[in-house]
Amino acid sequence: MARTLAQPFTRPFALLAVLFAAVSLSGCGINNIPTYEQSAKAAWSQVLNEYKRRSDLIPNLVETVKGFAEQEKSVLTDVVEARAKATQVQLPADILTNPEAMKNFQNAQNQLSGALARLMAVVERYPDIKSGQNFLALQSQIEGTENRISISRRDYINAVRIYNTELNTIPGRWWKAFMYPGSQEMATFDIPAEEVKTPKVDFGTKKN
């Protein structure tokens, strides 16, 4: 009889013990690794969104500036080819933990950025093109997108830094060993410090 009477009292205490343990563990950072990982993945998705937006603008831009002299049309070819290479880069499923794949992706996007900058510089020699409403609208959109790319890359770099730090410092390193053994450090962009601090792009059209 004593055992039967004790059971109703034992269960609430057991439940309280489980709740206390859960709260204690959450306070120790047991959820940090998956939380930081999801934040980094969300930041990466935003990076891809901005690069795609830029890629989608380029065909209209190329069509708008076809009035170049023959000897300067190579800049158009460079942009078209750089866009093709950037869009054809295969993104493996493990790109976020594959530094080589991340480097290839970044190189392709950097080549496209360089080709676009050269294109905009050449446009300066063609008043009829650079003053056209279509070109001005596209130029504004591309400049805005380049700035958003810089910001999204900066956010991704910061999210990866937090995640990777958690994996390599205590208590995160302990939680990785016991709870998340499959977690790996994420690859990041190789961005100059000045670009990370000041994500601003100007194709040379703004007056001092």
pLDDT of residue 47: 96
64: helix, strand or coil: helix
Length of the chain: 208
Q: Which tokens sit at 183?
A: 């977690």
pLDDT of residue 130: 86
Question: How far is C-alpha 60 from the geometric centre of its chain's CA atoms?
Answer: 25
Q: What is the pTM of this model?
A: 0.78
pLDDT of residue 18: 44
pLDDT of residue 7: 52
Q: Looking at the structure, give the CATH architecture of the domain made up of residues 34-197.
A: Up-down Bundle (1.20)
pLDDT of residue 72: 84
Question: How far is C-alpha 88 from the geometric centre of its chain's CA atoms?
Answer: 18
**From CA 76, how far away is CA 126, in angstroms rounded?**
14
* Positions of the chain with pLDDT under 70: 1-28, 191-208
pLDDT of residue 68: 81
pLDDT of residue 158: 96
Domain ranges of the chain: 34-197
**CA count, 13 A, side-chain hemisphere, 114:** 10
Taking alpha carbons only, the member of 43, 53, 81 closest to residue 142 is 53
